[in-house]
Structure 1
Amino acid sequence: MLRCSDQSLYTGYTNDLEKRLSKHLAGKASKYTRARLPVEMVYYEIFETKSEAMSREAKIKQFSKNEKEDLVVSFKTSKIV
């Protein structure tokens, strides 16, 4: 999940986080993020299959903004340890 400069959150899936983030930062990955640069990666999950990743992406996209923000907070907290 990326936080855009307007504080909105963008959710997507990829098989290469670093490459995808670089494309977003260069304005070449998504029309949505291109108009909201810069972006910052604030949350991610790792899955074994593309199908699992796409299923989770679809579920997260249905979350409210508050639910997405809760994921981000819990992710930051878990990375501090």
Structure 2
Amino acid sequence: MSWFVYLLECNDGSIYTGIATDVEKRYAAHCMGKGARYTKSHPPTQILAVFEHENRSAASKAEYAIKQLTAQKKRALCQQEMTEQL
């Protein structure tokens, strides 16, 4: 089963990073205030990027690495992902 690292833009402009096996379902939970403590007080407005990984361990390691980035670098990573998908 694939795991995904996803980045969400929140209503205050901040970026939330998480992992899930079903990003759309997890995003819906975040939007309903049931996803994570952070997104309860910073509701998400859109999915910025999704990165697929072969297992939970790889996704967790990638999530940690992304969380170490500045917001500017996270946005650049999302922009790069969007460009590669086109």
Secondary structure class of the residue paired with 1:13: strand
Under a length normalisation based on structure 2, what TM-score does the superposition of the two structures give? 0.85
1:1-80 map, 5 Å: 1-79=7-85
Q: Which moved more, 1:56-65 or 1:35-44?
A: 35-44
Under a length normalisation based on structure 1, what TM-score does the superposition of the two structures give? 0.90
- Name the % identity: 34
Cα deviation for residue 66 of structure 1 reads 1.3
Deviations 1:5-61 (A, max 9, x none): 000000010111111011001110111111122431101100110000000000000
Q: Which moved more, 1:35-44 or 1:12-21?
A: 35-44
Larger relative contact order (CA 8 Å, sep ≥ 6): 2
The number of equivalent residue pairs is 80
CA RMSD of aligned residues (A): 1.1
Name the one with the larger strand percent: 2
Structure 1, gaps ≥5 residues long: none
